[in-house]
Structures are given as C-alpha cells and as structure tokens.
Amino acid sequence: MTDAPRVHEGTSLDEAMLRWRNEKHLMVCAGRSNPELGLRIADVLGVRLGGVMLKTFANGEIYARYEESVRGSDLFIIQSPYGADSLNDHIVELMLMVQAAKLASARRVTAVMPYFPYSRQDKKSTAREPISARLLATLLEAAGADRVLSMDLHQGQIQGFFQIPVDHMTAVPMLADYFAFRDFDAPVVAVSADAGGVKLAKRFQAHIPDCGLAVLTKQRTAHNQAEVLHFIGDVEGKVAIIIDDMIDTGGSIVGAIEMLYEHGARDVYAAATHGIFSPPARERIRESQVREVVVTDTIRIEPGPRDDKIKVLSVAGTLANVIRAVFTDDSVSDIFAGEHQLF
C-alpha cells in the first residue's frame, strides 16, 4: 500500500498531495496460466509479485481478489492463456483480474499476454465464422484494460483490432543468438516455415553471420493440419534452422523437417517463440529426425524425461525490460532496435 504523503518544512499540504498523486507505483501480478514467468519477471524488475486470490468454484466459475491495495498503481498482469482444458478459463480469469483492478482504482492496467490466443482466427476464411482475435480484443477493452503487451503475434493486423495501445515484442533476436554462438562447422540456412513468415526468417538470418535463406510453402487441408507443398532454397550439406512463431500439434514442423532432409540438409533444427505442444506434438518431435527444438517460456512448458530434444529459453528479461520502459514512459522500439515491427 502507498504510504501517506509526508509534508516537509516549507511545503504546503496541497503541494505534498499533488506530488504524491503524481508518483508512479509499479505492481506486477500473475494469473494461473504461467506463474513461474511472473515470478521471473518480478525478480528481474526487483519487485515482489503481487498477491492475488484466484479460485475456481465447483460449477466452473472463477473468482479473483487482490490481497493488497492496487489503488493508484501502474499494474501489469501476466497471463498467457493456453491448454485445451484451460485456455478459455485463463482468458476469463484475466478479464476478471483486469476488472477487479479497475474497480479497485488502479491507475493503469496492462494485460501482459506474451502468447495471444485465437491469433490464427484473424479473418473470415469461410462464410458464417467469427473473427475471434478481434472479439478477444473487444472483450479485453470492455473489461477495462488500458494497454496490452504481446510477443510475436501471428499476424500484424491483430494490433489494429484494438483501440488501446498494443506494444509488440519479439523473441527472434534471442532465438537467433542461441544458434549464432553454436559451432556448427557447416553453413547455416534460416528456413521460413511458410511464405507468410519470410520476414520473420530474414530477421533471424540477420543475427547469424553468412546465413542463407530458404522458404517452405504449405497448404492447410483442415484445422491443425497442413501439407508442405514446395521448397525454395539450397540446404545441401548445410544446417537448416526452421523459424516460426508457434508450434502447436507439430505436424507442419515435422513435415518441414522431412522435406529438408530429403533436399540434403546435414542437420535440421527448429525454433519458435510459442511452444504450444498440443498432443501429439511431443511424440512427433521425439520420433522425428530434428536435432533440437528451441522455444521460449511465453507458454508454461514442463519438459518430461523423454523431451530431451526440447530446449526452453526464458523471455523474462525481455518482458521485464518492456514493462520497465512502459512504466517509465521510455521507448519500446529502442529495446528491439525496430526489429519488433510486424510489417
């Protein structure tokens, strides 16, 4: 709780009250989707993770209550909805946390959603279907969110679905640096997982010296099903690194891995910001010839004893830097040197 203002000698009560009201008060809280990431972010920022009581009643309804005052605070709520059985619950939980904070007089509430769900439903592909990503944006605004932070959005137009500020972050430099310091003893090629991800692959390529570029094209035959159709580039005797924004069921990635080996790749790796890993993704990765799959902790991941091919990097430092910049009204673009732009 913010202490009452102290009146120093020579300072009027009105002046002290004005200075007190203008002081910013940073708070970070986390929902139940990824509490470990919330703790890491708070640790980097040097603050304590705020206490929130979160419960699910027997009938499935969710309850949220802050265990300390949030009045006048600049509150950042960490929530990355995921999971076949919990994604929608995480979304409702986030909205309840946002509304509870607004009703408790938080000065500004920022929804920190490293993974933005429903992002693949960003347009009408066929008749009589919703634009779900647009609806989620509307619901967050209706709940009272003043700002949204997200990472490697699936499509750039999602930013335009909001009428509140959206700060976009990227994990591509971190993923690229992980591979840049590896001694592969062979030329490296960045491979775009599809035609729409070429810009993502080019940013990845820019961080690795003398890195080539290749492109795969695919066609979706049904939801969560994709067929790799064509390959453009040269991977003969080279190390191919597939770069994508997310890995869900793993079908596309495994198909791409097989095609790259068919075209003579010496080794194949895969990297993605969001490791959703819906079943049977982990089984597919284990059975594939991929050397390693590198993802981040935007989504809570608990690798099992057989998931030795999965490597998880933490984005807590990146998220903490952006939160600090937003809190102090500094530039987010400077943190990424312009590489976070989607277009």
- Would you please indicate which residues are annotated as catalytic (active-site) residues? 218
Contact (CB, 8 A) for 280 and 249? yes
Report angle CA 316, 247, 310 to the nearest 5 degrees: 65
Tokens of 226: 């994709």
Pairing label, strands 267-275, 292-296 = parallel
**Closest C-alpha to 113, from 284, 322, 285, 334:** 322
Cα separations (Å) of 166 from 35, 112, 151? 22, 10, 10
DSSP state at residue 209 = T
Q: CB-side exposure of 157: number of CA atoms within 13 Å?
A: 8
> How many Cβ atoms are within 10 Å of 107's Cβ, its own excluded?
17
Pairing label, strands 225-232, 212-222 = antiparallel
**Residue type present at position 163:** Q
Contact (CB, 8 A) for 276 and 117? no
Contact (CB, 8 A) for 292 and 269? yes
DSSP for 156-204, written as a single string: GGGGGG-SS-EEEE--HHHHHHHHHTS--SS-EEEEESSGGGHHHHHHH
Element (H, E) at 65: strand 62-66
Contact (CB, 8 A) for 56 and 104? no
Cα separations (Å) of 214 from 209, 240, 248, 269? 15, 9, 22, 14
**Closest C-alpha to 96, from 39, 41, 53, 49:** 53
